[in-house]
Amino acid sequence: MFTLNKRRRSTPRGAYAAMLSGLGMLTALFGMLPSALVAVTGMHIFWWAGVMLVIVAAGIESISGEWADTYTKEEIKALSKRNIYRVFTCGFVPLQIITFAVAGFMWGQSALSLADKLGLMVTIGIMGGFAINVAHELRHRPGKFESFMAKLALSVVLYSHFYSEHNWGHHVKVATPADPVSARYGESYYRFFWRAAIGEFKFAAEAERERLGRKGKRTWGLRNDIVQGWLLSLVIYGALIAVFGWQLLPYMLGQAFIAVAFLECINYIEHYGQLRDRRPDGRYERCTQKHAWNAGKIVTGLGIFNLQRHSDHHVHPGRRYQALELTDEASILPGGYAQMVLLALMPPLWFRVMNPCVLALYDNDIRRVNLTDKLRAKHGYVVEPELDSDDSDVAVAA
């Protein structure tokens, strides 16, 4: 199930490609599915439909075809101009908020048992993880409307600092020890989660302090992107509490935690163990197709707006999701993203599968791998002082 597959090339085009991408927008409505399934079948297990979705997707990935594309410059330009793809990402956000509110109403019903409520909360949280991915796509766009929609999506899951950290932090420091979002070889997902979540907020706060300081503005004012996100959260959460009462607070906080945990699991997968080489001048080389883990599974691409073509996203951060490529130079995961999420939750199996893949990527030279502090000490490898990355200009393009 987790062996490397030979990729088959298929290239959906035109209306067919747009239709497939549009299915990703509909994942925002997935949170409404559990109640319908329970009503039809009488089986309360469907309140946990979010978990079932990941498991079923992993199974489908094991038998599904793969979707690997490269485009001409003219095709990339044409794809990037097609506004229908913007409709899918921007349209996701209002659907996300509607589903969040409807699920809140269902949570407040006395007919639901504690197990039912927990299942619903987890399902909405997994949907929230998809929403952060949509916010990620929107954050990379220069327009004010798409930027606002990114903030709105992040506010529902209380992760507004992602807006400041991602472009100016992760994209500059990716695949180096300085990046809290690049998982280290030998680091379990559970250790990574806390290091990443805390590190992202610290960097975002510092980035906002520097950005506003250059403009002569105070850090924690209304011009702070993090504060703006918090205010949006206050409005959305306050409105639901005003309508449905304080009993919704555990649901809202719980789904936010699950959403962030789901996001960080994806982050864990995307750069595990990868390290950019140093150039002769001591700076890190620019990010290449090698420096992220990719998957070509069609079923994965449908729901996450081509996030699995992650190398090309880092090489071309300004490129819209529909024009991302999966090239022969890209590092390929031994399974689809859904499969790897399940594997990441079981560290011994994860290490057994992924550690050989990482070492193979670096010709079995462990000194070229992004190691944990413990493994660095074990191998007598000391990381040199951090120097600038050659991706210092990438945030502008992002």
pLDDT in tens, 284-306: 999 999 999 999 877 677 678 88
Is residue 50 a contact partner of residue 120, using CB atoms and an 8 Å limit?
A: no
Q: Of all residues in the chain, what percent carry a pLDDT higher than 70?
A: 89
Task: Quote the pTM value.
Answer: 0.91
Residue 313 lies in a domain: yes
Residue 372 lies in a domain: yes
Which pLDDT score, from 0 to 100, does residue 390 have? 56
Range(s) of the domain holding residue 198: 14-397
Residue 80 lies in a domain: yes
Q: Give the gyration radius of the chain's Cα atoms.
A: 21
> What Cα–Cα distance (Å) separates residue 42 from each residue in 96, 116, 118, 172?
26, 12, 17, 50
Would the pLDDT of 385 be above 80? Answer: no
Which pLDDT score, from 0 to 100, does residue 101 have? 96
Residue 26 lies in a domain: yes
Rounded mean pLDDT, 355-383: 88
**pLDDT tens-digit series, residues 204-257:** 999 999 999 999 999 999 999 999 999 999 999 999 999 999 999 999 999 999
Which pLDDT score, from 0 to 100, does residue 8 have? 42
Residue 7 lies in a domain: no
- Mean pLDDT value across the chain: 88
**pLDDT tens-digit series, residues 62-90:** 887 676 677 888 888 888 888 888 999 99
Residue 286 lies in a domain: yes
Please name the residues in contact with 360: beta carbons below 8 A apart, sequence gap of 6 or more: none
Three state DSSP letters for 288-341: CCCCCEECCEHHHHHHHCCCCCHHHHHHCCCCCHHHCCCCCCCEECCCCHHHHH
Domain count within the chain: 1
Q: Residue 259, CB half-sphere, CA atoms under 13 Å: how many?
A: 32
Nearest alpha carbon to residue 162 among 128, 121, 126: 128
Residue 39 lies in a domain: yes
Would the pLDDT of 6 be above 70? Answer: no
Would the pLDDT of 21 be above 80? Answer: no
Which pLDDT score, from 0 to 100, does residue 109 have? 81
Q: Of all residues in the chain, what percent carry a pLDDT higher than 90?
A: 69
Nearest alpha carbon to residue 225 among 175, 139, 164: 164
Which pLDDT score, from 0 to 100, does residue 386 have? 55
**pLDDT tens-digit series, residues 100-140:** 999 999 998 878 999 999 999 999 999 999 999 999 999 99
Is residue 63 a contact partner of residue 76, using CB atoms and an 8 Å limit?
A: no
Which pLDDT score, from 0 to 100, does residue 379 have? 78
Nearest alpha carbon to residue 38 among 159, 143, 120, 100: 120
Rounded mean pLDDT, 21-38: 83
The answer to which of 11-15, 50-54, 218-222, 384-388 has the lowest mean pLDDT is: 11-15
Nearest alpha carbon to residue 54 among 347, 336, 354, 350: 336
Would the pLDDT of 203 be above 90? Answer: yes
The answer to which of 11-25, 95-109, 154-168, 307-321 has the lowest mean pLDDT is: 11-25
Which pLDDT score, from 0 to 100, does residue 93 have? 96
Residue 27 lies in a domain: yes
